[in-house]
Chains A and B, each alone.
Chain A
Amino acid sequence: MTPATPDHRAAPAAWWRLTWWRYRQLMGVAYAAPTVFFVAVFFITPLLLVARMSLSSWPLLTGNGGLNFPKNYLSIWKNALFGPAVVFTIEYTLIVTVLLIGLGLGLALLVQERGRWVDMLRTVILLPVSLGLAAASLLFWGFYSPSIGPINPILEQLGLIHDPISFLGTSLSALLSTSFLIVWKYTGLYMLILLVGLQAIPDDLFEAAALDGASRIQVFRHITLPLLRPSLALALILCVTGSLLAFDQFYILTKGAPDNSTVTVVQLIYREAFQKQNLGTSAAISIMVLVALLVLNTVQFRYLRSSEPGLKR
């Protein structure tokens, strides 16, 4: 934008341009205002209240009972379920992230070509994404149930098993059964994210590599993967964050069973608030998780961004 010129013939235009600029500034503020409003009302204010709650004695039924810092935070360390919940949440996150990103990438590579059956395949893989997580969890709870589930009777009819499989009965089977649900539900989403990234890679790079006699593996390692990095970064952050906040699937499928071996951190937050009716300790755990996520996301971005220029070479 050039400033107004001293030329008097241009003055009306300059006058108009200035106003237009100011008008644009005002428009900018107007456009941003709803977002600012919603962020302030639905994010900043609750966050401050949660912070205050975490510093206060705040029973669910009787409300604010005044400051008691640092009691809520100290009680986290005395909570016997906290350590195992953190370990389990991380364990679950690792399993699910490896499976989702790996399978998502594999499927994206598989369906990136055009073709009639490919369109159908994409749709089929993507369909579960449109289902709500709670609804999907309830559906799988029915499948896995030893009392009403259809899977065991079918497998028994086929003669594949003699004794029914206890899908949610042991800590390992409960973890794997829940991971299976999540993989079924979300692989399509990660396939889509990575597919968009794949299709953004210019074809001439692949052609040039083919002319140079590069093998398929070399093309994947030195062209596809580096150029897919931004999409992979997005997928990774979404997946890790989502998994660390896992709640619905475990709340519905396992309720933390068997023997508290599938309790996630967010389940603990819920338990403190609504079973033990203590919003103070619940808020304290929330704040801890928020800080952990901020640190983790920052580290992920730093790592992924700092390595980008090197890869552009």
Chain B
Amino acid sequence: MTTPRDGLAVLGPALAFALLMSNYVCSSKAQIKPEAFPLAALAAGPATYGVDDGTHITLWSRAATQARADALVKAYNATHKNHIDATYVPTDDYQTKVGAAAAAGGLPDLFSADVVFMPNWTSAGLFTDITDKIATLPFAANIAQGAINVSTWKGRKYGLPFVVDLSVWMYNKKLFKAAGLDPNKPPTTLAEFAADARAVQKLGGNVHGTFFGGDCGGCEVFTWFPIAWADGETVMNPEGTESHLNSAENKGIYATFRSLVEDGTALMPDTKTETGPTWTGYFPKGNIGIMPMPASLQGMANSSLADADIGVTPIAGLKGGQATLVGGDAIGISRDSKVANAAWNFLAWMVSDEAQIEVVAKGGNVLARPDLANNKYSAADPRLVIFNTVAAKGQTPFAKAFGATFNDPQGPWLVLLRDAVFGDASKIDADNAAINASLNP
């Protein structure tokens, strides 16, 4: 020990780095050749529904939407000769895994993407063009267009809606009643939302008017963008290269939430510190008056929140209107797939009446086919009808650099949102310039 072996000690950290880097190395062996799409295989196959001949098809999806994705996969395997081998990857690792597989030419036959990441992957040529196949489906026009729009790159379509997620406002009917509000009259503007939250806040104790994930960029994309859309306003240009997040409309939205934070209506300090993992866990605890939530009733009711007390209403704008963000996952056939026609068989079945009603609607989830909103399962619960009708008024934001701009915890959108709501609101215009820079790398 008297003469430390400096060679080894210097090598130690260096080796750690090399190992860290070897991760990148693996993902960079091959380059993507967009011309290598198995187009010939596609053109030769049967039209409309593909082939069901006992082919084994590999599928990757992220863990966040596993329950709903797996319900479709299981139902397909039970009713078809083809067999889907599904792998669910931890959500935080999913982008990395797909990136590495894309570079190494090892993508599965089918893989899904969080809809906001679709442009990034379609523009990099990871999917097979299915424009013509979609066109042959008799119900093509009735499929939720949001997911298809974000899966479209240079006029060609690469994906279909796999799992649909929407944002809505949820309110606690019991607390509304206690605060003297009519539980059957949910807010129809953002101002009414704030007024109702303040009324509930007056109940005191551990009850709070509202809550939102104030340190989570993705949460506010999901729940604030629709407020602007409801007023007919925009958050970006359609190409996703120019931000409108410093518009008068958007500044008005930030100001409303800022006032809810400043007068203590929003639960603090949680609202300021929530980075995303637990933001949907607050409402089911039964002490939040009204807040934006994903449109799913699965597992919401519990000992402190009765199912009958969960009120649902569409997100409204400053002036009125209704909108939602159609999120969730889109799915497409990878450019590496050798069994594109068998893979298409799953996709075509997935958006059919049969799968949508007997699997998706039966599970109490939002349909990828708004035209089927009124079905035997939704008839039993009017909240499901609200989910499905608002889906038709939904949008999905489109930008090639979406993740790095809006979801990245170090991204520029989170800086703007925190300045606007908690910090120095005069920086909004400068922060918006940073968003524009990020959208155009």
Pair B24/A279 contact, Cβ less than 8 Å? yes
A195 located at the interface, meaning its Cβ lies under 8 Å from any Cβ of chain B in the complex? no
Tell me if A219 is interfacial: C-beta within 8 Å of chain B: no
- With A289-B17, A293-B14 as known contacts, state yes or no: A53 contacts B24, CB within 8 Å: yes
Give which listed residue, A64, A147, A267, A271, contacts B282 with CB less than 8 A. Answer: A147
Selected interface stretch from B155-163, B178-186, B336-344, B402-410: B402-410
The answer to whether B269 touches A146, judged by C-beta atoms less than 8 angstroms apart, is yes
B6 close to chain A: CB less than 8 A: yes
- Interface status of A222 (Cβ within 8 A of chain B): no
Contacting residue for B124 out of A45, A61, A200, A271, CB 8 A: A61
Residues A20-44 near B (CB distance < 8 A): 42-43
Interchain CB contact under 8 A, B272 and A258: yes
Say which one of A125-133, A162-170, A203-211 lies at the interface with B. Answer: A162-170
In the complex, B28 has a CB within 8 A of chain A: yes
Q: Are A233 and B415 in contact (CB under 8 A)?
A: no
A64 touches B28 (CB 8 A): yes
- Interface segment among B41-49, B94-102, B244-252, B301-309: the answer is B94-102
Residue tally, chain A, CB below 8 Å to B: 66
A304 within 8 A of B: yes
Shortest CB-to-CB span from B414 to chain A, Å, is 8
A263 and B21 form a contact (CB under 8 A): no
- Residues A294 and B269 in contact, CB atoms below 8 Å apart: no
Residues of B within 8 A of A191 (CB): none
B90-133 toward A: CB 8 Å interface, digit per residue (1/0)? 00000110010011000000000000000011001110000000
- Bound-state CA distance A234–B6 (Å) is 10
Tally of contact residues, B, Cβ under 8 A: 57
**A interface SS class:** helix
The binding surface of chain B is classed by DSSP as helix
Task: Provide the residues of chain B in CB contact with A259, threshold 8 Å.
Answer: 415, 418, 423
Known: A46-B19, A305-B4. A275 touches B411 (CB 8 A): yes
Nearest-neighbour CB distance to chain A for B419, whole angstroms, equals 9
A50-B25, A282-B24, A283-B21 known; A304+B4 contact, CB < 8 A: yes
In A274-308, which residues have CB < 8 Å from any B CB? 274-279, 282-283, 286, 289-290, 293-294, 297-298, 301, 304-305, 308
Q: How far is the CA of A64 from the CA of B99 in the complex (A)?
A: 14
On whether the beta carbons of B278 and A276 are closer than 8 Å, the reply is no
A257 to B28, CA, bound (A): 31
| Nearest CB of chain A from residue B114's CB, rounded to whole Å | 13
B417 to chain A minimum Cβ distance, whole angstroms, is 11
User: Which one of A50, A61, A233, A283 contacts B32 once the chains associate, using CB atoms below 8 Å?
Assistant: A61
Which residues of A in the span 34-79 have a Cβ within 8 Å of any Cβ on B? 42-43, 45-47, 49-50, 53, 58-64
Q: Which of B251-301 contact A (CB under 8 A)?
A: 269-270, 272-275, 278, 281-282
Contact, CB under 8 Å: B4 / A273: no
* B379 interface hit (Cβ, 8 Å): no
Q: Is A255 an interface residue (CB 8 A)?
A: yes
Interface residues of B in 17-42 (CB under 8 A from A): 17-22, 24-25, 27-28, 30-32
Q: What residues on B are CB-neighbors of A60 within 8 Å? A: 27, 99, 103
Complex contacts, A275 vs chain B, CB 8 Å: 403-404, 407-408, 410-411
- Residue B10 interfacial (CB < 8 Å): yes
Task: Kindly list chain B residues whose C-beta atoms are within 8 Å of the C-beta of A148.
Answer: 278, 281
Is A145 interfacial (CB 8 A cutoff)? yes
A183 to B421, CA, bound (A): 35
Central interface residue in B16, B18, B96, by most chain A CB within 10 Å: B18
Q: How far is the CA of A117 from the CA of B32 in the complex (A)?
A: 63
- In the complex, residue of chain B having the shortest beta-carbon distance to the beta carbon of A165: B269
Q: A61-B121, A234-B4, A258-B272 are in contact. Are A277 and B404 (CB under 8 A)?
A: yes
Closest Cβ of chain A: how far from B418's Cβ, in Å? 6
With contacts A53-B28, A286-B21 known, is A255 near B269, CB below 8 A? no
A19 interfacial by beta-carbon distance below 8 Å = no
Interface residues of B in 400-441 (CB under 8 A from A): 403-404, 407-411, 415, 418, 423, 441
- Asked if A279 and B4 sit within 8 Å, CB to CB, the answer is no
Whether, in the assembled complex, B15 has its beta carbon less than 8 Å from a beta carbon of chain A, the answer is yes
Q: Which of A42, A146, A256, A277 is B99 in contact with, Cβ under 8 Å?
A: A277
Distance in angstroms between the alpha carbons of A282 and B120 in the assembled complex: 19
Known: A146-B270, A279-B24. A293 touches B13 (CB 8 A): yes
Q: How far is the CB of A192 from chain B (nearest CB, A)?
A: 14
A237 at the interface (CB under 8 A from B): yes
Instruction: Point out the residues of chain A lying under 8 angstroms from B14, CB to CB.
Output: 43, 47, 290, 293-294
In the complex, the answer to whether B273 meets A297 with C-beta atoms within 8 Å is no
Question: With A256-B409, A273-B24, A286-B17 as given contacts, are A64 and B31 in contact (CB-CB < 8 Å)?
Answer: yes
Decide: A147 and B10 in contact? CB cutoff 8 A.
Answer: no
Shortest beta-carbon distance, A285 to chain B, in Å?
A: 11
A275-B404, A277-B99, A297-B10 known, 8 other contacts, Cβ within 8 Å: A47-B21, A59-B124, A61-B121, A168-B273, A241-B12, A259-B423, A274-B95, A279-B24
Give B residues with C-beta under 8 Å from A: 1-4, 6, 9-22, 24-25, 27-28, 30-32, 95-96, 99, 102-103, 120-121, 124-126, 215, 269-270, 272-275, 278, 281-282, 403-404, 407-411, 415, 418, 423, 441
Binding site for B on A (CB under 8 A): 42-43, 45-47, 49-50, 53, 58-64, 81, 145-148, 164, 166, 168-169, 197, 200, 230-231, 233-234, 237, 241, 245, 254-260, 263, 266-269, 271, 273-279, 282-283, 286, 289-290, 293-294, 297-298, 301, 304-305, 308
Name 27 interchain pairs, CB-CB below 8 A, sorted by A. A42-B19, A43-B11, A43-B15, A49-B21, A53-B24, A53-B28, A59-B124, A61-B32, A61-B99, A63-B32, A64-B31, A146-B269, A146-B274, A147-B281, A166-B269, A254-B275, A256-B409, A257-B273, A258-B215, A271-B408, A274-B96, A275-B411, A278-B441, A283-B21, A286-B20, A293-B13, A294-B14
Instruction: List the 5 closest pairs (A to B, CB-CB), nearest first.
Output: A63-B31, A61-B124, A255-B409, A50-B21, A230-B1
